[in-house]
Amino acid sequence: MIAEQSASSSADDVLVGSSLWRDAWLRLKRNRMAMAGLGVTLALTALSFGGPFVTHALWGYDYESQNLAYGARPPSAAHWFGTDYFGRDLLTRVLFGGQISLTVGLLAASVAASIGTLYGAVSGYAGGRIDGLMMRIVDVIYALPYMFLVIVLVTIFGKSLPLLFLSLGMVGWLMTARIVRGQMLSLKEREFVLAARSLGVRNYTILFRHLIPNTLGPIIVYFTLTVPSMILQEAFLSFLGLGVQAPRPSLGALISDGAQHMAVFWWELVFPGGLMALLLFSLNFLGDGVRDALDPSSRGRS
């Protein structure tokens, strides 16, 4: 009675379809800049986590062993990035710093995304006075000076790593909440939501099965663009001395030290800064690519 769309006469019982995620992934793969960004990010991640083992195996370096005799040496065959004032191998320190930046960035962004999504979804779906109240809370926190807030949190909770990214995440969830709530407000008027209600589906099921999956697009895009932002914030905090504590290196701390001796020991600034810049560039390209890939306007209607 109905003509098949594809003349597939295989013996398959079921013809598997191509979900929107798969379409988006295919589109992303075609975007060379984004793929380059992804590649570089993965490479840097591998280097950051694997590199220190190699340098330790090859030369016995780690991030804190000092060798004052070799203090402040420019790049050489033994020390590819040179050494810092205390004779510590800069390459190893930079790689360790990368570990911390990536970990902090990813974890903080994840915390922010999770809290923000849940908060925004509930607020947007509930609507009315509950929504108003929840969004006013967001407005108030948003209005507080960010640095002040972080400094207070760090002062209260101390300068430990997990609490660092918790503090970062706590502030970062606000934007996600706003975005998700906005998405909710428009999505809940869509006809497929009305259809689900008319089928008798319960509210919380509608929220998790129908609404949140359809907001994942903007959430993911915002996530990939939040990670570099978190890395930068951590670097800034470390630069101020509020983040990761010495002797553990973080890119921000390294840049801070390097900036002090910039005129004389240029490698102490160039390498950590370069790595940071490379990381941020590639994450941003990836984020742009993800946004383009998930762009609904390029998805066709039959």
* Residues of the shown chain interacting with another protein in the complex, contacts defined by CB under 8 A: 1-5, 12-20, 27, 30, 128-130, 190-192, 194-202, 205, 209-210, 213-214, 299-302
List own/partner pairs for 17-22 with CB under 8 A and 24 or more apart: 20/299
Cβ proximity to another protein: between 58 and 199 the closer is 199
Q: What is the DSSP track for 53-67?
A: HHHHHHH---SS---
Closest CA to 258 of 134, 97, 139, 100: 97
CB of 301 to another protein, least distance (A): 6
d(CA 248, CA 156): 21
CB of 286 to another protein, least distance (A): 20
Cβ proximity to another protein: between 136 and 190 the closer is 190
Cβ proximity to another protein: between 23 and 64 the closer is 23
Cβ proximity to another protein: between 60 and 129 the closer is 129
Count Cβ atoms within 10 A of the Cβ of residue 77 and give its class: 0-12 exposed, 13-18 middle, 19 or more buried: exposed
Alpha carbon separation from 278 to 59, 96, 166, 190 (Å, rounded): 26, 16, 25, 41
Helix (H, G, I), strand (E, B) or coil at 17: coil
Q: What are phi and psi of 133, to 5 degrees?
A: -60, -50
Cβ proximity to another protein: between 27 and 178 the closer is 27
CB of 20 to another protein, least distance (A): 6
CB of 173 to another protein, least distance (A): 24
CB of 192 to another protein, least distance (A): 4
